[in-house]
Amino acid sequence: MLLLAITAPVSLAFGFAGATAARSHVAPLRWLGKGYTAIVRGVPDIVFFLFFVIALDQGFEWLRHHVLCPDWTDPIRQGNDFIVCPEAKLPLSSAPQWVHETYGFLLAVLTFAIVFGAFAANILYGAMRAVPEAQMETAEAYGMSPRQAFWRVLIPQMWVYALPGLSNLWMILVKATPLLFLLGVEDIVYWARELGGSKGPIFDYPHPDWRLWYFTGLLVFYLGLTKVSEMVLARLNRRLARGQATMRGEALRT
């Protein structure tokens, strides 16, 4: 739940930045936005999680190594090993356990945000294009600058078109959280498997294998979470559509 609460807005921020870049008049920025969306959406999530987190962690350590240990003479790449000076390790070996767990969790948040931000960028880009061009032309005819028209006209109306796609993306994000085990984060599915088993690598319980009941509880939990999400998103959709020149908005007028 903490991952969802943090990742959802961060993913939306990545998506908004990607969509804005994709519709930019500056060619390199437009290529960057469209390339980010296309590349991340084209790579399977599980491959991205397995590769990107390792590369990101090593990238941070590589930068710290060159800053903190400029006199290091041994090569960093030694076959399949990645060896940096002890001062450059993230986190430090002397750091407490909570620092290691927090660092792994932040890597997981960043990875989820980049992956699902690409899908959000595609949704928001389509929503921006769905806003009638006449709305922007009218805003500019009233004397608004392109920046003012973007924030005051395009963005408020865009959410009406984007919310259905973002709702589906939220549901996918909820179901994707068990992929955390690939990143070393012990999520609710991991603990259901460990606590429900008659004997696991951590605990030894006197009860038999109760994983069926634990996973049944998880089923109820996820169905309840998605149902609450649908109710909240439907209410938000009605609120955003009120007063808008869309079929949904016209239906709310009557």
Give the torsion sign (CA, 37, 41, 46, 48).
negative
What pLDDT, on the 0 to 100 scale, is given for residue 50? 74
Contact 13, 122 (CB under 8 A): no
- SS3 call for 78: strand
- SS3 call for 208: coil
Q: How far, in Å, CA of 254 to CA of 252, rounded?
A: 5
Could you read off the pLDDT of 82-112 as tens digits, one per residue?
A: 888 888 888 777 778 788 778 878 888 888 8
pTM listed for this prediction: 0.76
Read off the amino acid at residue 208: P
Scored b (16 or more CB within 10 A) or e, 113-131 reads bbbbbbbbbbbbbebbeeb
